[in-house]
Structure 1
Amino acid sequence: MESARLPLDRLPLDSDALRANLDKTAQPVVVPERYLALFDAVDGYYGVRQPLADTLSEYFHVYRNVDLLIDGFQTLLLRNWSYFERSERRTEWFTLLSELVLDLLGAQLTPQQTSLLLRQLLTWCTAALAGRHGGEYDQPLLTVAERLTRLLPRQPLAFLERDTLLRGLLEQATKRPGLETAFAELYRSLLLTGYERLCERLPVPQWAASPEAELTDRTAVADSFSDLAPQRVRDLAARARQAGPAELLSSGLPTFSALLDEAIDRIYRIEAIEDRFAVCL
């Protein structure tokens, strides 16, 4: 594949890539020709073109800074996408930008970096799918679902932190027959990951009944967190395995974050202050 060098004066001013280009550490930034085509979409829009140049320069630099890339993609996907979408080649631009984000997600990122990038990707995909041109993005969105399905086991905490956003994307995907199955399976996997984690890490009712729990009112604590009883969570997992797309989105199959939020809220309903502290510990 042909590549092209992006001029040094188009590098971001506050960038590891720029600093690496100074003095004795000069490194050429080579952007594949495939991605340089993105500039065609925003020709004439300097305020959009410059962030694109900055992000591509950082992305393809040998000393790239992931945090700067996350900021750059936030601008491109969540602020400037409408400019790309004006072009008749919008499907091509969606494909190229999603490729860049997915490849970055596949790199060695921290859970926090993965979570931030997932937020941008899922929010962007949902908005694009819900927009007037949503029917033009089926193929790249199928790739998104496939790649995220493979990534989930590697970064479960980051995905669980964004389960509400993935739920919103599935709500839109169910309106597209070609996308429904792929995103339903991704969401099902995420639900099961969350339920498994709750069983392993947060069996509060079971703990409250055990000798190691120093509580003044074991029954009250166990009853307050009945939704987290291991058997109840296992029942949710069994339902999720058999559920169709519509049932996966029902209130009867809450997300990990919804169950966790409810558990946190119930801590403050425990009357005995010392029991509240014991649960938190």
Structure 2
Amino acid sequence: MTKSSLSTRDRAQNGAVHNPDEFLVIENLMKAYPKPGGGHHVILDNVNLTVGADEFISVIGHSGCGKSTLLKIVAGLEQASSGRVTLEGRPIRKPGAERMMVFQHYSLLPWLTVRENIRLAVDEVLTSANRAEKAAIVQEHLEMVNLTAAAEKYPDEISGGMKQRVGIARAIAIRPKMLLMDEPFGALDALTRGKLQRQVLEIWEQHRQAVMMITHDVDEALLMSDRIVLMTNGPAAQIGEIVTVPFPHPRDRQQLRESPEYFELRNHLLNFLDRHFGAD
């Protein structure tokens, strides 16, 4: 997949420039947990994936196929049992500010306001910025997710969709190299979900970065992704197929749904999921 902006994301390590198409590399990854009676329960087996520096990847599969486990390994929250995961050539062994996670259930601190929840991340990571610069960054991202009017409210005073926007603003405010999202819209009603999908997509289209998103929603994946990773069923889940989404950015939901190719791809994804659901 050709990306004209990729050259701007080249970064050096030990004097060498990394190929931005190989920003995140997952090689022969296996994850297993010990069983109480002996042996191991294999969650993921022989997973291989390469993600570009400004590529939006969605991972789809039935419950129990290890999608969230894979995301946590990339985040550094869990370790692979074998195999290798690297970001810009460096092994991932622990969490880092270059990889920010957006969870399904918000994870906001209830005693802090919307503004303070975002500011907390900025203070923690952007240590070289002065007070005025940090305040400006927070304000910029409040505006980006349309939360300026709610800036001084506490989490229990705002809706679920607004809470999720706070989490997204907090994650992107520190400009991570990679955004990791675990079903970020799954707990929202259909109307709120559609609006927030559009907002996040617009932010990403204007400020490109690598994204890996877990979802159960085929239409969501087709709207937002460059590629869709289809997982086989667990245990010992693998990548069954990787589908390239051919529609250019920026995308319009209505235009996509008027395209015969959209429905062809949608049916292909649903057929894959149906086959593996039947085999479970």
Instruction: Tell me the TM-score range normalised by the shorter chain.
Output: 0.3 to 0.5
Whose strand fraction is larger, Structure 1's or Structure 2's?
2
Rg bigger for which structure? Answer: 1
TM-score, reference length from structure 1:
0.33
TM-score by length of 2: 0.33
Tell which has more relative contact order, 1 or 2 (C-alpha 8 A, sep 6+). Answer: 2
Say which structure is richer in helix. Answer: 1
